[in-house]
């Protein structure tokens, strides 16, 4: 069922992503938070605005070297939760190959977590409710994490990146060959053709 183009599955996945992000930011057990939500209560110690919390800038790190052609691990729990939510929302498994290759991809876009374009680590240009323009290319600032996750998923699944989408849905990540033309499309003229 969908309402104005938003399916119930997408809403459920976004809710699950928010719960994962909240748990990652607060260091709480997902099962405990889920139990609270199911029973109609707020996860303990939060207010509803914290579920779309901002990134913890104190945990930012410089990118790990990917000169070996391998993926890098996310810098912190906030970044890991973002990638897990993107994958879950698009129907892809949150394998280490997927998460680490998305983290490596992010480092081709930005130097450290959190991303300069608010809630937009892969620098998507997908417009969203409440988004603002970050730069002259049209990269967006998203008003909250859920909008950022949704826009990233819409971009990854918009038909321009079928090999990337298929690899993520297979759980194999996006390292290696076979993605050059799609990464070139994503990054634009003078961009990159691989991420790890």
pLDDT digits (tens, 9 = 90+) for 126-147: 999 999 999 999 999 999 999 9
Counting residues of the chain whose pLDDT is more than 90, the rounded percentage is 55
Q: Are the beta carbons of 84 and 73 closer than 8 angstroms?
A: no
Helices (H), the chain: 8-26, 30-38, 77-89, 96-109, 145-156, 162-170, 180-187
At 64 the pLDDT is 39
At 138 the pLDDT is 95
User: Mean pLDDT of all residues in the chain?
Assistant: 76
Q: Are the beta carbons of 17 and 85 closer than 8 angstroms?
A: yes
The structure tokens 């990652």 sit at 24
The angle, 0 to 180 degrees and rounded to 10, between the axes of the packed helices 162-170 and 145-156 is 110
At 17 the pLDDT is 56
pLDDT digits (tens, 9 = 90+) for 9-49: 444 455 555 555 544 544 444 445 444 444 444 444 433 33
């Amino acid at each position: 069922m969908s309402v104005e183009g938003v399916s119930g599955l997408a809403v459920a996945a976004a809710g699950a992503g928010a719960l994962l992000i909240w748990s990652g930011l607060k260091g709480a057990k997902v099962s405990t938070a889920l139990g609270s939500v199911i029973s109609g209560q707020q996860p303990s110690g939060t207010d509803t605005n914290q579920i779309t919390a901002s990134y913890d800038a104190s945990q930012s790190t410089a990118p790990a070297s990917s000169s070996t052609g391998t993926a890098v691990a996310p810098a912190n729990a906030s970044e890991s939760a973002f990638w897990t939510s993107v994958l879950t929302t698009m129907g892809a498994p949150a394998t280490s190959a997927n998460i680490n290759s998305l983290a490596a991809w992010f480092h081709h876009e930005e130097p450290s977590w959190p991303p300069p374009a608010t809630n937009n680590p892969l620098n998507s240009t997908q417009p969203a409710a409440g988004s603002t323009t970050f730069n002259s290319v049209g990269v967006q600032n998203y008003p909250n994490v859920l909008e950022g996750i949704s826009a990233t998923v819409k971009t990854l699944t918009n038909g321009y990146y079928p090999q990337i989408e298929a690899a993520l849905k297979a759980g194999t990540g996006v390292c290696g060959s076979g993605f050059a033309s799609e990464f070139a499309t994503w990054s634009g003229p003078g961009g990159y053709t691989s991420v790890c």
